[in-house]
Structure 1
Amino acid sequence: VDLRLCTLEETELCFPQVNTSCKKHVRSHSEAMIIYILLFSNSLLTVVLNLLVIISISHFRQLHTPTNLLLLSLAVSDLFVGLLVMPFRILLKESCWILGDLMCVLYYFLAFITVCASVVNMVLISVDRYVAICDPLHYPTKVTKKRAQLCVLLCWLYSVFYSFFLLYENLKQPGRYNSCYGQCVINVVIHVDLVMSFVIPITSIVVLYLRVFVVAVLQARSMRSHITAVKLQSSATVTVKKSELKAARTLGVIVTVFLMCYCPYYCVALSGYYIIISSSAYAFIVFLIFLNSCLNPVIYAFFYPWFRKSVKLIVTLEILQPNSCRANVL
């Protein structure tokens, strides 16, 4: 009986040969399969969708616009989430981290950079759409390719320095917050992360969305008040109104999806509850954050007809033909 108890106790340890080893968080087979299937399918879909966006914008010359440069940057950050960050989550098995303390910190460092870059890119795209809708006459002079490239560069530099600042203590001494061998735990100032990664971005997007919505309402009223105006003027007003309402709906979807994916993580973090890194609740919260990187290309790209045309040309391998980069996709 004692031998059986000893064997059972050893099987519950991550590293039975180490006295300070962490214990495994044992899941049922069905629960583990559901978690791994969700993470793997989300990772694969994220990579495929964002690759389609990257190939489309990079290949076709008609798509080399300031707005699409921001979309390209967003797709690259989301691609890294699906290609590098998600697979490491799949490698986490029974709460045992087998890659060492340094790789643990580097994993979170990469995760913070890519997720932060994704959020900042969303804000930049919202600013771009705000200027295009609310100040269309000055948009070509205010938003140029060079300025868009500079914004993308600053976005990634900010993401790297912010992640380094947030994880400095962890990078300086990897594993200092682990309570046992085989654990992957980091310590961040959650209130700083909350303000910089959630409150400021979502506030910016909401304010821009409300401004766009107000402009759309004003245009609708202007159209009704000038109903007796010349036909050409009325037609132009209707066109503007439709464009603004479409942009308002798009930004509304952005806000809703962003809140849906990020609110659970910050609500739990601020509540003070500790969630085991391999628990089902933690897996679900992380899955929601990763899901945002999968939905971004759907929100930003699938709403545009040029993306559907580009995907058709990519899938049918017509992009391999000479001068395909000059194809008309608009």
Structure 2
Amino acid sequence: MESNDTFDPYLISPAHSWNVLDFLEIIIGVAGLIGNVIVCVVMTVVKDLRTQTNCYVVNLAVSDSLSSLFLVLEPFLKKYVQVGEFYCRFIQSAFIFWVCMIESIFSLVAVTLERFVAIVYPFLYQRWFTPTTIAWSIVTTWILSVLSELKLLLIWQSDGIYCIYGWTDLKYSAGPISVMFSLNYVFPAVFMVYAYAKMIDSLKKDARQIQTSSTNQADAELLTARRRVITLLLIVVGAFFVCHTPNHFLYFAWHVGFRIEVPRKVYTTLVILTFLNSCVNPIIYAFRIKKFRKGCRRILCPFIPPDGVSVAHTV
């Protein structure tokens, strides 16, 4: 993940001098690591936040924590680890970072599916989403993420001086990359757009039904709480795709024949945008979840007395 003159380096040697991107990478990584660790702690400690939906939120925070840790370590590793097979396949390829990025996509798909069933098909929710099935779904997303990015360990090689990127021939790269782009980006994006459109439509129908019937206050509060959760998840999903769409499309375009010459500044901006997604979610939670703010204050400032009351639980 270096900022070269163009996006098509075949040979990459380790960088021995520090540059602005290295420092930005470390700063973003530290911020992301601190923020996501706080998310994990708060979501685990605060009783009102221990919901089934937040299991996926914690998993997303774990993924972002690992990618942030890689961002902190990568500049040092690239300067002090000797070039070899391990260096090229694990460090230069940013294998861990990209596994975590794909895991973030699959985790967003999983939490979208969980909310989709809860809102659109509530009669199936208790049967489909038990603690066991949620745990297995999280394990499955990690397994799929690792399998998806194993290609990086195969296509990066070392000649002892340089790291060599192996997929330079479209005959070998276009097909696999098209399949992976569809599975890792296009299909998840299409599903999430469809799911959130259906959820919003279902919530609108529920709202009209509440307005025209003598529904009790608890149902109205539940509807409000569900709307807040959906709004939060839409913001998280939107932030992810804003940060990652340019890089995904550039990577896909390059491997199917469009050898785009990307200026250094543009590519550096896209890299930084990708990095930023690792630290943006805690900021979103802080602005959108009152209980999360209270939990942060309780943990970080334990001597300040809590105030306010809790809001309705969501299914």
Shorter-chain TM band: 0.7 to 0.9
Q: Are the counterparts in 2 of residues 47 and 82 from structure 1 also a CA contact under 8 Å?
A: yes
Q: Distance in 1 between matches of 2:99 and 2:23?
A: 25
Residue 210 of structure 1: which of 197, 200, 204 is its match? 197
Q: Distance in 1 between matches of 2:24 and 2:230?
A: 31
1:303 Cα offset (Å): 2.6
Q: Are the counterparts in 1 of residues 42 and 296 from structure 2 also a CA contact under 8 Å?
A: yes
1:82 Cα offset (Å): 0.3
Q: Distance in 2 between matches of 1:23 and 1:79?
A: 27
Q: 1:296 to 1:196 in 2, by over 3 A?
A: farther
Show CA shifts across 1:2-47 (max 9, x none).
xxxxxxxxxxxxxxxxxxx9789999x9xx43x3343222111110
Amino acid paired to 1:181:
I
1:150 Cα offset (Å): 0.8
The corresponding residue for 1:7 is none
Structure 1 residue 249 corresponds to structure 2 residue 219: no
Q: Are the counterparts in 2 of residues 101 and 184 from structure 1 also a CA contact under 8 Å?
A: no
Q: Are the counterparts in 2 of residues 54 and 75 from structure 1 also a CA contact under 8 Å?
A: yes
Q: Distance in 2 between matches of 1:24 and 1:168?
A: 17
1:210 Cα offset (Å): 0.6
The corresponding residue for 1:291 is 276
Q: Are the counterparts in 2 of residues 50 and 75 from structure 1 also a CA contact under 8 Å?
A: yes
Specify the structure having the higher radius of gyration (Cα): 1
1:291 Cα offset (Å): 1.6
Structure 1 segment 227-238 matched on structure 2, within 5 A: 229-230=213-214, 233=215, 235-236=217-218, 238=220
Q: 1:251 to 1:69 in 2, by over 3 A?
A: closer
Structure 1 segment 251-270 matched on structure 2, within 5 A: 251-269=233-251, 270=253
Q: Are the counterparts in 2 of residues 52 and 311 from structure 1 also a CA contact under 8 Å?
A: yes
Q: Distance in 1 between matches of 2:128 and 2:41?
A: 27
1:211 Cα offset (Å): 0.8
The corresponding residue for 1:150 is 136
Q: 1:185 to 1:317 in 2, by over 3 A?
A: farther
Amino acid paired to 2:162:
G
Greater RCO (CA < 8 Å, at least 6 residues apart):
2
Q: Distance in 2 between matches of 1:149 and 1:301?
A: 26
Amino acid paired to 1:213:
I
Structure 1 segment 296-315 matched on structure 2, within 5 A: 296-299=281-284, 302-315=287-300
Residue 158 of structure 2: which of 146, 163, 175 is its match? 175
Q: 1:255 to 1:63 in 2, by over 3 A?
A: closer
The corresponding residue for 1:239 is 221
Q: 1:154 to 1:257 in 2, by over 3 A?
A: same
Q: Are the counterparts in 1 of residues 67 and 97 from structure 2 also a CA contact under 8 Å?
A: yes
Q: Distance in 2 between matches of 1:56 and 1:252?
A: 21
1:127 Cα offset (Å): 1.2
The corresponding residue for 2:306 is none
Q: TM-score, normalised by structure 1?
A: 0.72
Q: Distance in 2 between matches of 1:23 and 1:71?
A: 37
Decide which moves more: 298-307 or 110-119: 298-307
The corresponding residue for 2:69 is 83
Amino acid paired to 1:306:
K
Structure 1 segment 55-134 matched on structure 2, within 5 A: 55-89=41-75, 99-107=83-91, 108-134=94-120
Q: 1:99 to 1:303 in 2, by over 3 A?
A: farther
Q: Are the counterparts in 1 of residues 52 and 131 from structure 2 also a CA contact under 8 Å?
A: yes
Q: 1:150 to 1:301 in 2, by over 3 A?
A: farther
Q: Are the counterparts in 2 of residues 43 and 82 from structure 1 also a CA contact under 8 Å?
A: yes
Decide which moves more: 97-106 or 206-215: 97-106
Q: Distance in 2 between matches of 1:48 and 1:117?
A: 19
Q: Distance in 2 between matches of 1:63 and 1:238?
A: 20
Decide which moves more: 148-157 or 190-199: 190-199
The count of corresponding residues between Structure 1 and Structure 2 is 283
Q: RMSD of the alignment, in Å? A: 3.5
Decide which moves more: 74-83 or 187-196: 187-196
Q: Distance in 2 between matches of 1:46 and 1:258?
A: 14
Show CA shifts across 1:61-90 (max 9, x none).
554432222112111111010001453157
**Partner SS, residue 167 of structure 1:** helix
